Structure 1
């Protein structure tokens, strides 16, 4: 490889252009941080650094100097001669390393005789390789050899001259330079692909307008803040922490009814997603965001307030989708996206009995804030259904089990069974109703947060005696149906059943109830009566009211109240979903 510095000779350094270029790179660097392109994610220690890797092959070395010696001997690339010949400052060296790595990664030969290709392009301020210890060596090189490097000395002299000519300008540069170490810490974090996008948006406009000195602060200060956060655990903290671990996401991804329904909704409607801006609320592992990106979305904003966002970022990078999918950490109610509106909001927000965990509140907040007036919600509608339960095997397993435990009675264990909603899978043979009853529909384009607490009348039709129904009900079963439509104006028939809803236009549905083709991880919600209900032989239908209310002790939990009439005695019970 020829020495490109020979083509340039000792370039003439003019005072103003050199300083202006340095200032411009500083501004670009800070802009990347403010725009969450270089966002700090965790405390950094020297123990985290890795061995530097050659620019042109996979060999690793003890330090950057060893890399440069190897490059000169084996790859005919003289780094020190090149940087001196081009008069590279700190940012120039970052750009040079990232430019060469980018070209080698794509199988191209770096055009080092055309330095404008990388020196004038701020994209090369961003790292190409995760944990690139060679970039960290650049900082060490600048600090350790500052007195010996004539270029650095010259650069400082230029800055001092500017300071004399303009006091205000010098003060501004001093503030920027004093924060360079902090910014470089954040730069190291992005190399490790652990991005906490949107973390600074927690303080809204006040944060975005604050000076750079009010950002992250020292490692000790960051650790103090982390300790303070741990002391102030809230229900939200427990909720988001529960989604930080692999197990729950493995369960959801292995739920083929859930995951394949979302996939088919996106892939079967690629014409809707093509060139659109998509928001994924509660993105988890990023699977829905990546579906949308593969379907042709122009930009996907993936938001999650759990630690799982770090793995979502890694998943996005591993699949080469980082130019389309941007991940943000934070509550959707608090962060600010770099777009006024989106075309589609996609989210898997459903909980047990549909509304447990109250994630829908956040999705509706995102809808009201970001969704274009013609935008699409996916899913588009959910419906809550109820049916009668008659299952001797289930009752024996959950209730009568406590009557004899190795010869001991444990009746004290029974009451909570009738106080709590029981999450279980049921077969159609466990259902004492020929058809379920839709007692609440939630059209996602128009429903409000206030609508998520309600009282709804319902009917329970009963199987005939001839079909084998013995006139006894053990309780009720609640489940939900989910629908995806191509248009916000598409009307789903009132008698639709999600397990068979596929009209042929790209719309589809899935159910969590007993009549589905497979069980889902949501299962169904059983409300057991304190004592089985006897139904007169001439009664074929029961009526009542079901109420959903958020619990005061934890707004992510629900209390489900039931009133049922038509049996030999009225039923009135309240169940906790916690």
Structure 2
């Protein structure tokens, strides 16, 4: 990650200042960041952006003409290109909590998938599309803008499913499907849930093709935040410089803080690092959410510390829920996946329980610190310097997450915090 001397992202005891955005062209890599799979046009192997499936299926009743899609920028091209690397897909597929929960969700909703038409948004290697075909889908449109679509077509062919799974190489905004669909499935979640802005592609697919009352998997998503303490990380990154082989190198500490904590950190913490019950930043109903809602999300929070400890920053994580539409008569099984249900930390909150359509049988994939580990881990926004808090001390303020104007796949984070008569502001960019 790049360090910028003219941009400080520490907590400052200042009045709120105008948010800064970091321009530039940054490559996406799975080791640090996830990328979207709905991308740049390519005509290799006959998979062309804007391909019409009516040529393969026979005449279909055309859907209403859509308005022109947003242009594909250079940032988008780099973003999509990163998903052509097999290592990214290997990491996702090897995440058992992620992949097995999706497979179980498909089987739980088999009665809504069997004999129906499915769209897989950002299909990657095609594994979710194949799960849907195995569950009895009549037809699956596997859409991906990355060059991985070429391999996805070969994977589908090797499994004898070319008659059911149609791979479309292009953005969801550009490809043409000349029939309505019954189901949309997508693994769209980025770090901190909204990083990458891939949910917009799911919304586009919903508005273009999904039948009224159709199924979307996952159906809901909830982003949480809470104050965290992490003395081991701070000591490892910062206090190390106080004494290096007997030499006082504390002059390095300020630069070390900027390099270590300038941008949000994707890492794993445990429930012991969390100082309070979490608060909901954003709850998303995939049936009704609008793209405009994702341009900027603001939430106010008020925490009460459960212990006396140094507060090193705020942690963020999310849950996604796989529920049938409210009017659907389909039955769900009582099976429980390795990641089903959130940690004891999240669902015990009364406010969170009210968000669920049916808490007793909803299948949930959680990235909470107390849930089985996933490749998303948790996202931590660190302060440059820890803030000591007492037990029962109130911590309140607001957080705003907004898409960068320079690159919509980057996320600006604006945090305001006050406690014990002191107020702070932190601005950061997730890129």
* Corresponding residue for residue 11 of structure 1: none
Matches within 5 A, 1:274-289: 274-289=114-129
Q: Confirm or deny: 8 A CA contact 2:84 2:147 kept in the other structure.
A: yes
- CA separation in 2, counterparts of 1:512 and 1:199? 35
**Offset at 1:324?**
0.7
* Corresponding residue for residue 532 of structure 1: 386
Which of structures 1 and 2 has the bigger CA Rg?
Answer: 1
Q: Confirm or deny: 8 A CA contact 1:351 1:522 kept in the other structure.
A: yes
* Corresponding residue for residue 273 of structure 2: 430
* Corresponding residue for residue 238 of structure 1: 78
* Corresponding residue for residue 382 of structure 1: 221
Cα distance change of structure 1 residues 379 and 419 upon mapping to structure 2, 3 Å threshold: same
**Offset at 1:576?**
1.1
Q: In structure 1, which of residues 514, 517, 523 is the aligned counterpart of residue 369 of structure 2?
A: 514
Cα distance change of structure 1 residues 376 and 567 upon mapping to structure 2, 3 Å threshold: farther
Q: In structure 2, which of residues 256, 271, 285 is the aligned counterpart of residue 443 of structure 1?
A: 285
- CA separation in 2, counterparts of 1:239 and 1:323? 30
Q: Confirm or deny: 8 A CA contact 2:133 2:165 kept in the other structure.
A: yes
Matched, 1:397 2:236: yes
Q: Confirm or deny: 8 A CA contact 1:387 1:436 kept in the other structure.
A: yes
- CA separation in 2, counterparts of 1:197 and 1:326? 13
Matched, 1:257 2:100: no
Q: Confirm or deny: 8 A CA contact 2:367 2:373 kept in the other structure.
A: yes
- CA separation in 2, counterparts of 1:398 and 1:497? 40
* Corresponding residue for residue 332 of structure 1: 172
Matched, 1:418 2:258: no
Q: Deviations over 1:451-482 (max 9, x none)?
A: 1112111222311xxxxx32421111011111
**Offset at 1:547?**
0.3
**Offset at 1:415?**
1.2
* Structure having the larger proportion of residues in strand: 2
Q: In structure 2, which of residues 142, 151, 173 is the aligned counterpart of residue 311 of structure 1?
A: 151
- CA separation in 1, counterparts of 2:305 and 2:327? 35
Specify the SS of the correspondent of 2:235: helix
- CA RMSD across the alignment: 2.4
* Corresponding residue for residue 26 of structure 1: none
**Offset at 1:536?**
4.7
Specify the SS of the correspondent of 2:115: coil
Q: Deviations over 1:273-313 (max 9, x none)?
A: 11111000000010110111111111100000001001111
* Structure having the larger proportion of residues in helix: 1
Specify the SS of the correspondent of 1:545: strand
Structure with greater contact order relative to length (CA < 8 Å, sep ≥ 6): 2
Q: Confirm or deny: 8 A CA contact 1:277 1:299 kept in the other structure.
A: yes
| Consecutive unaligned residues in structure 1, runs of 5 or more | 1-39, 43-193, 202-231, 464-468
- CA separation in 2, counterparts of 1:419 and 1:497? 36
* Corresponding residue for residue 495 of structure 1: 352
Q: Deviations over 1:196-221 (max 9, x none)?
A: 144557xxxxxxxxxxxxxxxxxxxx
Q: Deviations over 1:158-194 (max 9, x none)?
A: xxxxxxxxxxxxxxxxxxxxxxxxxxxxxxxxxxxx4
Matched, 1:548 2:386: no
| Consecutive unaligned residues in structure 2, runs of 5 or more | 1-41, 53-71, 329-346
Q: What TM-score do you get using the length of structure 1 for normalisation?
A: 0.56
Aligned residues: 345
- CA separation in 2, counterparts of 1:360 and 1:399? 36
Cα distance change of structure 1 residues 541 and 283 upon mapping to structure 2, 3 Å threshold: same
Q: What TM-score do you get using the length of structure 2 for normalisation?
A: 0.75
Q: Deviations over 1:40-75 (max 9, x none)?
A: 943xxxxxxxxxxxxxxxxxxxxxxxxxxxxxxxxx
Specify the SS of the correspondent of 2:101: helix
- CA separation in 1, counterparts of 2:150 and 2:224? 37
- CA separation in 2, counterparts of 1:311 and 1:398? 41
**Offset at 1:429?**
1.2
